[in-house]
Structure 1
Amino acid sequence: MFSKILIANRGEIAVRIIRACREMGISTVAIYSEADKDALHVSLADEAYCVGPAQVGDSYLNMLNILTIAVSSGAQAIHPGYGLLSENAKFVSLCEKCNITFIGPSSQMIEDLGDKDKARKTMQKAGVPVTPGTEVIEDENEAKAAAGKIGYPILIKARSGGGGRGIRLVEKEEDFLNAFRSASSEAKSAFGDSGCYIEKFLKPVKHIEMQLLCDKHGNVLCLGERECSVQRKNQKLIEESPSPSITPEIRAKMMDAATKAAKAVNYNSVGTVEFLLDKDKNFYFMEMNTRLQVEHGVTEMVTGLDLVQWQIRVAAGCKLDKTQDQIFFHGHAIECRINAENPDKDFRPSCGKITKLHIPGGSFVRFDTAIYQDYIIPPFYDSMVGKVIVQGRTRDLAIRKMKMALSELSISGIDHNRNLQIEILSAKEFIDGSYTTDFIEEFEKRRKK
Structure 2
Amino acid sequence: MQKSSIVIAGGGSTYTPGIILMLLEHLDRFPLRKIKFYDNDEERQKIVADACEIIIKKQCPEIEFIATTDPETAFTDVDFVMAHIRVGKYKMRELDEKIPMKYGVVGQETCGPGGIAYGMRSIAGVIELIDYMEKYSPDAWLLNYSNPAAIVAEATRRLRPNSKILNICDMPISIENNMVEILGYEKRSDIVTSYYGLNHFGWWNDVRCAKTGKDLMPQLREYVRENGYLVQSDIEEAKQHGDNSWNETYRMAKDIYVVDPETLPNTYLKYYLLSDTVVEHTDPEYTRANQVMDTREKEVFEACLAIKEKDDFEGNELMMDEHASYIVDLATALKFNTYARMLLIVENNGIIENFDPTAMVEVPCLVTANGPEPLSVGKIPRFQKGLMEEQVAVEKLVVDAWEEGSYQKLWQAISLSKTVPSITVAKKILDDLYEVNKEYWPELK
Common fold: TM-score over 0.5: no
Q: Which has the higher contact order (CA 8 A, sep 6+)?
A: 2
The structure where helix makes up a greater share of residues is 2
Length-normalised TM-score, structure 1: 0.29
